[in-house]
Amino acid sequence: MEFWSNFWSVIWTFFWAFAFIAYLFALFAIIGDLFRDRALNGWWKALWIVFLLFVPFVTALVYLVARGDGMAERGQREASEAKRATDDYIRAVAAVSSADEVAKAKTLLDAGTISPDEFAQLKSRALA
């Protein structure tokens, strides 16, 4: 109970927990970037991983300084490719052809829901 009674011990524990979690985030970002980088040779990737295992803090700092700009570029490129793929998928799913629009309007006309004038407007709008 003495540990929890000392306020600064608790603060110090939270600080080191934060530092450790921040290091883990950086470590996972580095490993992800290593495997994402197509220009880096497999042996260089293995060497970085070995150094990350045996000299983790120094290697992480060196990697972030030496290859930080490349990490940002690769992350940005991956995000833009994901956005482009999502946009293409949405366009493919949401795209309705003009023939579909005219067919829907014809169905409404045959059902008596719309008048021939409204059908003509819908048809001209779909074909425009």
Q: Could you tell me how many helices (H) and strands (E) the chain has, helices first?
A: 6, 0
| pLDDT attached to residue 85 | 94
Distance CA 109, CA 3 (A): 80
Q: Which tokens belong to 30?
A: 């580095």
Give the pair of three-digit tokens for residue 51.
Answer: 């150094």
In this prediction, residue 4 carries a pLDDT of: 60
Whether the CB-CB separation of 25 and 60 falls below 8 Å is answered with no
Tell me, what's the pLDDT at 51? 93
pTM above 0.75, yes or no: no
Q: Which residue has the tokens 């540990």?
A: 3
pLDDT at 10: 82
User: Tens of pLDDT along 55-114?
Assistant: 998 999 999 898 888 888 888 998 999 999 999 888 887 767 778 888 888 898 888 888
pLDDT score of 2: 65
**Residue 1 pLDDT class (50, 70, 90 cuts):** low
44: its two tokens:
């260089």
Residue 122's pLDDT band, with cuts at 50, 70 and 90, is: confident
pLDDT in tens, 9-51: 888 889 999 999 999 999 999 999 998 888 888 899 999 999 9
Contacts of 67 (CB under 8 A, 6+ apart): 33
What's the confidence (pLDDT) of residue 15?
95
Give the integer Cα–Cα distance in Å for 67 and 30: 9
3-state secondary structure of 37: coil
Measured in degrees and rounded to the nearest 5, phi and psi for residue 55 equal -135, 70
